[in-house]
Structure 1
């Protein structure tokens, strides 16, 4: 990228984050605490509201989704494991959390378009994960969406 392009990109104001986007960030942080630190659901739910910016997050979505991901962890891991090239336990905690969240949303939030779910997962992986983790997340969630949202994926896209 040229210096001019970098400067133009840096000068462009960031789009404000939606309440759902913020909730997803807190869910990912909670899943990280759960996997790496051994925190339980109650501890995560107690800690998150104390964190700066949580007041701008969709609290109901945060709570329901965090609880759902943790409760369905084994089933979600089974879904994810069918589409990855290594053991789930070998994934980085960030990639694992993003995949759990994305998989849960694909399966349990049909009101949210699959493209939105995958894009949100990619953005989380870019913001919190390793250099190319977002590409891996994209590939895995595309495969899960092809099964979980096959009809939606075949539907013609409305032009915009």
Structure 2
């Protein structure tokens, strides 16, 4: 089993009863797994199994967590290629936390079209505020806004009706 000493701890959020909160917890767990993958080079299966052992995993949306973790790691090279033109430095120079958040947000924009891009960006900002550097959320917001303009241009021009279950 891999060491978790280099992995930022997942903060427990009170009241994971709502669908959105379950999704947020899934994103937090996926963030931890993607961070661990970047830092240690572990494989997705082992990381996923390790994270499923945390005491509050049952409060997360398990299938969504698995989709995020597996999907981001499977498509990481393509996602990084899509992110890079919108950065002011090489992707390897980003902090692993901000990079992980950008990978999650980009994955959701590309592979989860049912989730409105504004919800994706807002969730990424919240992750960056909780786990990123001091102004990391501003950087994440700027990069994902630029990506949304390219990946979700039609949606931005004609936003979908609000759906509580989207985020």
Q: Please, what TM-score do these two structures have when normalized by structure 2?
A: 0.83
Give the gaps of 5 or more residues in structure 1: 1-13
Instruction: Provide the rounded CA distance (Å) in 2 between the counterparts of 1:93 and 1:79.
Output: 17
Q: 1:97 aligns with which of 71, 93, 100?
A: 100
2:42 corresponds in structure 1 to 39
Instruction: Provide the rounded CA distance (Å) in 1 between the counterparts of 2:61 and 2:74.
Output: 20
Deviations 1:51-92 (A, max 9, x none): 131110010011112111111111100010010000000000
- Show structure 1 runs of 4+ deviating over 2 A: 14-17, 156-159
What are the equivalent positions in structure 2 for 1:127-146 lying under 5 Å apart? 127-146=130-149
1:86–1:151 Cα change, 3 Å: same
2:74 corresponds in structure 1 to 71
**More off after superposition, 31-40 vs 148-157:** 148-157
What is the Cα-based RMSD across aligned positions, in Å?
1.6
Contact 2:87 2:143 in 1 (8 A): yes
Determine which structure has more spread, i.e. the larger CA radius of gyration: 1
What are the equivalent positions in structure 2 for 1:3-152 lying under 5 Å apart? 16-17=15-16, 18-152=21-155
Give the gaps of 5 or more residues in structure 2: 1-12, 163-167
Q: CA deviation at 1:38?
A: 1.7
Contact 2:86 2:147 in 1 (8 A): yes
Contact 2:129 2:137 in 1 (8 A): yes
Instruction: Provide the rounded CA distance (Å) in 1 between the counterparts of 2:127 and 2:37.
Output: 17
